[in-house]
Amino acid sequence: MSNMAKIFDAAEVAKHNSPNDCWVVLYGDVWDVSEFLPSHPGGSKIILKLAGRDATEEYDPIHPPGTLEENLKPSAKLGELDPSTVSKPSPDAAQKEQKEGPPNMQSLLNLDEIEEVATKQVSQKCWAYYYSAADDLFSKSFNNLVYRQVLLRPRVFVDCTKCDTSTTLLGHEVGIPLYVSPAAMARLAHPAGERGIAQGISQFGALQVVSNNASMTPEQIVEGSLPGQIFGWQLYVQKDRSKSEAMLARINKMSDKYKFIVLTLDAPVPGKREHDERNQNVGASLPVSSGVKTADEPKRPGGGGVGQQLFFGTAADLTWKSTLQWLAKHTTLPIVLKGLQTHEDAYLAAQYAPQVKAIILSNHGGRALDTAPPAVHTLLEIRKYCPEVFSRIEVWVDGGIKRGTDVVKALCLGAKAVGVGRAALFGLGAGGVEGVERTFEILKAETETCMRLLGAEKVSDLSLKHINTRAVERDIYDGHAGLEKLGLWVKANL
């Protein structure tokens, strides 16, 4: 802005480390963030930890370009940091940091191995954010285990020379019924970020739902994607509706790429993700200026994780009619409702067709409410109580997918598409674009092998006849039929 930026040295910046006088360095510039502190989505504490220091390394991978400019006044930029005044970390420390690179992606045989590699490649903070789930991680692991409870029923003497995984989703042709679930902040895992995911999946014809909290702009992510490559955009409605409306307007303009809006409903308030929170506490033990006083923030038990920061500003007051009507005013893109977990809500959603074109059965990867049901339960509930839903809207699912057999089982149960969230991020973390590619290569190959061995040539051939879900059926909600009162039983037994 100014012709001659003022130059600060590091010692000077370091003095401004209190709530009322808080400076940070970002990309070489010195910013006064004192005024901004109380409105930071992640709370003031997380900035104060970095007060008086260069915060670029922590800031960059979780904020898309433009964030600074959107949130700070030009006058808050005070000048530039003199890099020569910054003390360097000792070479020993630097060397310690150097990690061994990842192995050849082709040597990884399944998604667990890819996660294992990613766990070693990404930062502890990144791992904690991706790995974490609510409370005791029961739903996270049950999401996957429930697929093991479903047995396959292979048919013999069926010609399986050909195998075609293509299908249509929301009327668009796709190469495989897979989509990338909206997962925030891909640049935490790898500089290629969300665009890297788009590149990695491009050859497979899978969909990608871009997170409301992506670490790149929606424009950056679709840049360079293949013709016909399809994206959806995830909407967390903001308390300040005008912010959401502005974003919708931006997305509407890219309707050649963004073909639908995913409205997320399963996390109106953040779940309790202790791995994520704990990791931020670890951060607290970093050398911070001892003079820092904590602002008088309301206590938040388990409050400092990356996940909680992202929820800041999200509206908790959505309702069927009002929200969908408001949405209709701001976009003509089809709506996909994400996070349904009961047949009752699936039934209700179907009443809102055709505005609502699909629902995603999801418990947010087990990250919202622990012991929430896996999508397989909800699929079976719908089958039992309101199967007409399947003919009125598309039903997608995510959560717990690790194998091609999982994909096929979901399809047999009636799902039109199957999402992977952590798997895409771990693929990215393990090997960037190539890691994402390998993840989808494995899933596609496993899906094809499974279809062939079942005796199914096309996705539409898959049906309930190909699976035995009896072990799951006995666990799904049945309106407490088992508690039906038994007449005069009790008095007879006293």
Residues 332-391 that bind a second copy (CB under 8 A): 337, 339-345, 347-348, 363, 368-373, 377, 380, 383-387
Q: Is 476 in the site for a second copy (CB under 8 A)?
A: yes
Q: Is 60 in the site for a second copy (CB under 8 A)?
A: no
Q: What are phi and psi of 297, to 5 degrees?
A: -80, 150
Stretch that binds a second copy, among 40-48, 66-74, 122-130, 477-485 (CB under 8 A): 477-485
Minimum distance from residue 244 beta carbon to a second copy (Å):
16
Minimum distance from residue 324 beta carbon to a second copy (Å):
9
Q: Is 471 in the site for a second copy (CB under 8 A)?
A: yes
The interface mask with a second copy, positions 103-122, x = CB under 8 A, is: ---xx-xx------------
Residues in the chain: 494
462 with 451: CB under 8 angstroms?
yes
Q: Is 328 in the site for a second copy (CB under 8 A)?
A: no
Candidates 145, 97, 192; CA nearest to 427 is 192
Neighbours of 328 (CB within 10 A): 12
Nearer to a second copy, 4 or 488 (CB): 488
Stretch that binds a second copy, among 118-126, 168-176, 194-202, 319-327 (CB under 8 A): 319-327
18, 252, 449, 461: which one contacts a second copy (CB under 8 A)?
449
Candidates 220, 233, 294, 291; CA nearest to 264 is 233
Q: Is 296 in the site for a second copy (CB under 8 A)?
A: no
133, 192, 397, 454: which one contacts a second copy (CB under 8 A)?
454
* Dihedral sign, Cα of residue 215, residue 219, residue 221, residue 223: negative
Residue type present at position 76 = A
Stretch that binds a second copy, among 156-164, 177-185, 252-260, 423-431 (CB under 8 A): 156-164
How far is CA 450 from each of CA 120, 377, 395, rounded to the nearest angstrom?
31, 22, 21
The interface mask with a second copy, positions 68-97, x = CB under 8 A, is: ------------------------------
Minimum distance from residue 398 beta carbon to a second copy (Å):
15
Residues in 184-213 at the binding interface with a second copy, rule: CB under 8 A: none
Nearer to a second copy, 77 or 140 (CB): 140
What is the set of active-site residues? 236, 266, 364
SS3 annotation, the chain: CCCCCCEECHHHHHCCEECCEEEEEECCEEEECCCCHHHCCCCCHHHHCCCCCECHHHHHHHCCCCHHHHHCCHHHEEEEECHHHCCCCCHHHHHHHCCCCCCCHHHCCCHHHHHHHHHHHCCHHHHHHHHCCECCCHHHHHHHHHHHCCEECCCCCCCCCCCECCEEECCEEECCCEEECCCCCHHHCCCCHHHHHHHHHHHHCCEEEECCCCCCCHHHHHCCCCCCCCEEEEECCECCHHHHHHHHHHHHCCCCCEEEEEEECCCCCCCCEHHHHHHHHHHHCCCCCCCCCCCCCCCCCCCCCHHHHHHCCECCCCCHHHHHHHHHHHCCCCEEEEEECCHHHHHHHHCCCCCEEEEEECCHHHCCCCCCCCHHHHHHHHHHHCCCHHHHCEEEEECCCCCHHHHHHHHHCCCCEEEECHHHHHHHHHHHHHHHHHHHHHHHHHHHHHHHHHCCCEHHHCCHHHEECHHHHCCCCCCCHHHCCCCCHHHHCC
49, 403, 416, 422: which one contacts a second copy (CB under 8 A)?
403
Minimum distance from residue 417 beta carbon to a second copy (Å):
19
73, 120, 300, 458: which one contacts a second copy (CB under 8 A)?
300
Minimum distance from residue 378 beta carbon to a second copy (Å):
9
Stretch that binds a second copy, among 62-70, 92-100, 153-161, 419-427 (CB under 8 A): 153-161
66, 83, 89, 154: which one contacts a second copy (CB under 8 A)?
154
Residues in 209-238 at the binding interface with a second copy, rule: CB under 8 A: none
29, 71, 79, 148: which one contacts a second copy (CB under 8 A)?
148
Nearer to a second copy, 59 or 320 (CB): 320
Nearer to a second copy, 175 or 193 (CB): 175
Minimum distance from residue 282 beta carbon to a second copy (Å):
10
Instruction: Write the CB contacts of 80 (distance below 8 Å, at least 6 apart in sequence).
Output: 5, 6, 7, 8, 28, 29, 30
Residues in 256-285 at the binding interface with a second copy, rule: CB under 8 A: 265-272, 274, 277-278, 281
Residues in 416-435 at the binding interface with a second copy, rule: CB under 8 A: none
Nearer to a second copy, 299 or 329 (CB): 299
Residue 433 structure tokens? 């674009």
Nearer to a second copy, 329 or 474 (CB): 474
Q: Is 286 in the site for a second copy (CB under 8 A)?
A: no
Nearer to a second copy, 226 or 464 (CB): 464
Nearer to a second copy, 231 or 440 (CB): 440
Q: Is 150 in the site for a second copy (CB under 8 A)?
A: yes
Minimum distance from residue 258 beta carbon to a second copy (Å):
23
Nearer to a second copy, 75 or 104 (CB): 104
